[in-house]
Amino acid sequence: MPGLSTSPPLPAPRACAAPLRSWVQSANRDDADFPLAHLPLCVFRPAGTDAIARIGVGIGQEVFDLRRAWRLGLLDTLAPELRRACAAPSLNALFAAGRAASRALRAALTTLLQEGTPDQERSASCLLPQSQAAFDLPAQVGDYTDFLASYNHAHNVGSLYRPDNPVLPNFSSLPVAYHGRASSLVVTDEPVCRPQGQFRAAPQDTATVFGPSRKLDFEMELGVFVGPGNARGHAIAVDEADAHIAGFCVLNDWSARDLQEWESQPLGPFLGKNFATTLSPWVVSPEALEPYRVEIARPASPLLKDYLRHAPSSRRASFEIVTEVRLCTQRMRAQGQAAQLIATALFSRDIVWSFAQMIAHHTVNGCTLRPGDLLGSGTVSGPTPGSEGCLLELTRGGRAPLTLANGETRTYLQDGDEIVLTAFCARPGLPRIGFGECRGRIVPALARD
């Protein structure tokens, strides 16, 4: 797929009105990830309690409790069914309500949290510092599908195993994917237990050994939660798919490369993937990302079928999102050192299949998508060193170890290592839109009975 090795020019900064200010002062800082223009959703409870989970909204360094706001009558301008969805213990009902409901809720929250609102005193009672919140998964996920949408990732990994044919022909024809396991999904900060399984101890071995994975890896991805979805047998058209995108998150598709290498022929990933997939707790709305919408980075291809072709009016199907990967080892934590940035990429440059195309392809055979289902973008990898979205690429399959600032080296993850994934949109004249952290720490494999 030629033309993907260089970055397209970024759009010129757009003129915009002065940003709205919130009475929550931490939301007004220039470096605030959650300004008033953002308002990401989450599911949380006060830390250290067995309180019922409730929906929250990120504002500055606080989380705004929608269940309490509902009880105080602060959401009475909303339709009754939307108010009930705000009081639920998960986001599924809000996702099912669609984009119009999302916009109505954002408008009501903007009024409540804007500087000068007459309801500031009652609204202030709905705030909890994010540091005092424990987060749950944002939704009850019925199904999870992970795609392969980065040409650079496909080429880099394929070059390790098939140097003469690194990118298989189907990549240019359709969004490649596998059906993940929803039970593997965990929220940020939950420990990730090193998986066990069969693998070859050396490439030339014909027999396998059983034990803890020796090639544990991360994958930097973005995820999309499905909104209303479709009825069985009814495909979602590519230019109508945006109406079925409820929001975005950061996703770490943990991978046991040695298990995966052995089991993936001929049917694909299984034990190498289904032990854990970590999600950030925040759901970023399409409305918050709208100022950062750009054209999908994909050259024209005669292989593209009509059902995957964006109309000219909907070519702006991607978003200018910066992704970052940080690694903190056990030694670094003991010495009080911060996690080290090891990779950064640009989603709009490095992903060549849009989420709308993924949805269109997912449903073209009549498959049902339901509110709260999750789609992963696949690893976000760039074309240059330091933009790769996993250790498999960063270390060239372990042949070029990564050297950290404290002198430690890594080919794959060791017990005690912590991976922190983040993403954000930032451009002069526009509000910063942060995605929050997707954090996971590796703990030893479970002892066998």
Positions marked active-site: 153
388 neighbors 381 (Cβ within 8 angstroms): yes
Q: How far apart are CA 380 and CA 149, in angstroms?
A: 8
- CB burial readout 35-68, b (16+ within 10 A) else e: bbbbbbbbbbbeeeeeeebbbbbbbbbbbbbbbb
Q: How far is C-alpha 146 from the chain's CA centre? A: 11
Cross-strand bridge partners of residue 226: 245
Instruction: In whole angstroms, give the CA distance from residue 341 to residue 321.
Output: 17
DSSP 180: E
**266 prior amide bond cis, ω within 30:** yes
CB 363 within 8 A of CB 235: yes
Name the DSSP class of 133.
E
CA distance 92 to 139: 6
- Rounded to whole angstroms, how far apart are CA atoms 402 and 252? 19
What the block records as the tokens of 79 is 């339709």
* DSSP-derived secondary structure letter, 198: E
Which tokens in the block code for residue 209?
Answer: 């050994």
